[in-house]
Amino acid sequence: MWNGEEERVHPGLTGDAVGGGGGGRPGPRDTPSCPTQDRESGWRTPWRPWRSECTCRGSWCQLSCLMPAGSMGQRADLLELDCQLTRDGVVVVSHDQNLSRQSGLNRDVGSLNFEELPRYKEELEVYFSPGRFAHGSDRRMMSLEEVFQRFPQLPMAVEVKGDNEELIHKIAALVRHFNRNEITIWASEKNSIMKKCKAAEQTARSLSLPLPLTTPQNPEMPSSFTISRGIRVLLFYYLGLLPFIPIPEKFLLCFLPTIINRTYFPFSSPGLNQLAAVVSRWIIMRKSLIQHLEQRGVQVIFWCLNEESDFEVAFNLGASGVLTDYPTALRQYLDNRGAAL
């Protein structure tokens, strides 16, 4: 746990992360530190593009209000980013479209130019830890381009917020420009948006200059499940047909049912939240389902877990990793768990 101490975070970044406690800012070529990482083959294996064969396995990352330097200090394997588009066409990392919660300014990101974006609040409540607050000295909003520049080799999941084709095409172009198709995940809740993401990726390929022959040709960007695709998997699982259904997705980014009505409140009604917690726990928390997806090459990652008891539940279910706002707590848990094993 945190022993009453608050995580020191960077309110200028939003999206959510594993990692924390690292000193100083990493340079643009810094990569996660791990004594057993194969620097030549990087983080990829044939069926698990971001599963590292090293002692920090299971440490995953969400980058919402957290300093990447801290995440890297805890050997995070993945950053999860939510993206919005400013009025002047800059892709920024921001969970919320409206800035009132984050900065106190009741304006949408899309109504302001990038240089007009306000700073984050000096004290910002952590979204998935009600009553806990983030603090940081660098409170500016960051562009996706800057994040890609500073962490060129770090895998990231990019969630498209809203059905905005310009935003989608600009994300695809940035991914292609930085030659990181293989280590950037498309994420969206809606099928219609995901289809546009894949189409924009193909367009970015056709419009960009051919890569040199010495440069590996980029494969398609992997994608995560949309809500409807996830429901479809559950349906086929309970019908016993899932082994016969193709699964093109490589990641399932899913809420852990035990956090509903505790740190995650999807509905305004307490009664609906209680019902959602019971029903989703019964439907989703099936170890055989998670094992099947893992065997099919799908990495199951639960969000957003900020307590040790939730880490324990997720890993006991067989999750590939978790997203957290408290990377130091997760790193401590993983180290203690490894020592116990």
Task: Please check whether residues 187 and 257 belong to one and the same domain.
Answer: no
pLDDT confidence band for 137 (50 / 70 / 90): confident
In-domain check, residue 195: yes
pLDDT tens by residue, 43-73: 333 333 333 222 233 333 333 333 344 555 5
In-domain check, residue 297: yes
In-domain check, residue 2: no
pLDDT for 218 equals: 58
pLDDT for 340 equals: 62
Distance CA 291, CA 319 (A): 9
Question: What is the count of structural domains for the chain?
Answer: 2
Task: Please check whether residues 141 and 267 belong to one and the same domain.
Answer: no
Task: Please check whether residues 129 and 179 belong to one and the same domain.
Answer: yes
pLDDT for 326 equals: 87
Look up residue 91 and give its two tokens. Answer: 């892709």
According to DSSP, the residues that pair with 135 across neighbouring strands are 8, 123
Task: Please check whether residues 192 and 239 belong to one and the same domain.
Answer: no
Pairing of strands 79-85, 156-160: parallel
- pLDDT exceeds cutoff 90 at 199: yes
In-domain check, residue 177: yes
Task: Please check whether residues 201 and 236 belong to one and the same domain.
Answer: no
In-domain check, residue 270: yes
Portion of the chain with pLDDT greater than 90, in percent: 55
Instruction: List the domain range (segments joined by +) for residue 310.
Output: 227-340
Whether the Cβ atoms of residue 52 and residue 323 lie closer than 8 Å to each other: no
pLDDT for 205 equals: 79
Q: Which range has the worst mean pLDDT, 216-220, 303-307, 320-324?
A: 216-220
Task: Please check whether residues 185 and 332 belong to one and the same domain.
Answer: no
Task: Please check whether residues 141 and 201 belong to one and the same domain.
Answer: yes
Boundary of a domain, candidates 175, 207, 239: 207
Boundary of a domain, candidates 177, 207, 237: 207
Look up residue 93 and give its two tokens. Answer: 């990392």
Q: Give the pTM.
A: 0.77
pLDDT confidence band for 83 (50 / 70 / 90): very high
Task: Please check whether residues 154 and 235 belong to one and the same domain.
Answer: no
- pLDDT exceeds cutoff 80 at 10: no
In-domain check, residue 306: yes
Boundary of a domain, candidates 142, 173, 207: 207
Question: What is the rounded average pLDDT of the residues 79-103?
Answer: 94
Task: Please check whether residues 49 and 162 belong to one and the same domain.
Answer: yes
Task: Please check whether residues 176 and 63 belong to one and the same domain.
Answer: yes
Task: Please check whether residues 102 and 245 belong to one and the same domain.
Answer: no
Task: Please check whether residues 54 and 193 belong to one and the same domain.
Answer: yes
pLDDT tens by residue, 262-294: 888 888 898 998 999 999 999 999 999 999 999
We report the CATH number of the domain holding residue 107 as 3.20.20.190
Distance CA 266, CA 149 (A): 34
Question: What is the rounded average pLDDT of the residues 8-33?
Answer: 36
- C-alpha pair distances (Å), 55 with each of 38, 75, 288: 12, 10, 25
Closest CA to 306 of 67, 147, 131, 90: 131
Question: What is the rounded average pLDDT of the residues 130-157?
Answer: 89
pLDDT confidence band for 339 (50 / 70 / 90): low
